[in-house]
């Protein structure tokens, strides 16, 4: 009976660990912040909390229409990206310098 009890406890604790990891947003595992000037819509949707495919596509459309982002705060100019969403994702994002502009 004690062996069965130990196996049962081990299964329960492993199941709880797996369930807890499944609830953690994928973005917490990102090694480096995502560059909003080079990211695809799929990458933005996967990394940013509260951003699905429609908002991610809106970010890409804004970037295509207006050029590179100069700062992360500029994301607030995209329809559907408010201050709360921006502050929640700020640490997950970055803006790199345009290599082509510095070469010219």
Token couple for 8 = 């049962």
| 68: three-class secondary structure by DSSP | coil
Say which CATH number the domain at 61 has: 1.10.150.310
Per-residue pLDDT tens over the stretch 43-75: 999 999 999 999 999 999 999 999 999 999 999
Domain total of the chain: 1
Decide which of 62 and 21 is more confident. Answer: 62
Whether the CB-CB separation of 57 and 79 falls below 8 Å is answered with: no
15 within some domain: no
DSSP at 34 = E
Q: What is the pTM of this model?
A: 0.66
Q: Which residues pair with 35 in a beta bridge?
A: 94
CA distance 33 to 19: 25
């Amino acid at each position: 009976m004690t062996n069965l009890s130990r196996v049962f406890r081990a299964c329960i604790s492993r199941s709880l660990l797996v369930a807890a990891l499944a609830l953690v947003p994928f973005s917490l595992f990102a090694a480096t912040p995502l560059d909003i000037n080079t990211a695809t819509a799929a990458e933005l949707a996967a990394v940013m909390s509260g951003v699905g495919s429609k908002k991610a596509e809106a970010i890409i459309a804004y970037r295509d229409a207006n050029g590179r982002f100069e700062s992360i705060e500029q994301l607030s100019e995209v329809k559907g990206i408010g201050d709360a969403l921006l502050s929640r994702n700020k640490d997950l994002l970055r803006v790199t310098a345009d290599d082509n502009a510095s070469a010219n």
